[in-house]
Amino acid sequence: MRHQHGGKRAAQAAPEHLRGDRFYSPAVDIVEKSDEILLIADVPGAKPEDIDVQFEDGTLTLHARVAPRYGEGVEFLRQEYGVGDFLRVFHVSEAIDAAKISAEYANGVLTLHLPKSAGLRPRKIEVAVKS
């Protein structure tokens, strides 16, 4: 699985500007298991109904909208939390069964389950004993 995020390193979390809005690249972990690949993304502040995951032509797009924390006219003594949405794009291998991709969200963490195609999963072959 390859990913794109505007050439920015995820650790920098620098905002990208697209269509006039600010987008941040969420930090992700990608874990390979025998039957699936897990993609775990941090999207703090997003509500489940504001998370959009799309898969088309081998491209997996994750977009999470985040509402501003404060109303207008707030005077900050210090502001470190960036306001903007999360956006990340991944190029997914054909080894993934696209029809079975699923997602779950809890405590600011989005987990995508990308099942491997049945033909690519390891399987144990039983050895028959002939008498």
**Exposure of 15 by Cβ count < 10 A (0-12 exposed, 13-18 middle, 19+ buried)?**
middle
Range of the domain at 42: 18-69+81-117
What pLDDT, on a 0 to 100 scale, did the predictor assign at position 122? 65
In terms of pLDDT, which residue wins out, 2 or 101? Answer: 101
In terms of pLDDT, which residue wins out, 2 or 84? Answer: 84
Q: What is the CATH number of the domain that holds 41?
A: 2.60.40.790
Would residue 1 count as lying in a domain? no
What pLDDT, on a 0 to 100 scale, did the predictor assign at position 130? 85
Q: Which residue has the tokens 């390193």?
A: 9
Would residue 54 count as lying in a domain? yes
Would residue 43 count as lying in a domain? yes
Q: Which two tokens stand for residue 78?
A: 């210090």
In terms of pLDDT, which residue wins out, 50 or 1? Answer: 50
Would residue 10 count as lying in a domain? no
Residue 115 pLDDT exceeds 70:
yes
d(CA 40, CA 97): 18
* Domain count for the chain: 1
d(CA 31, CA 80): 30
d(CA 125, CA 69): 55
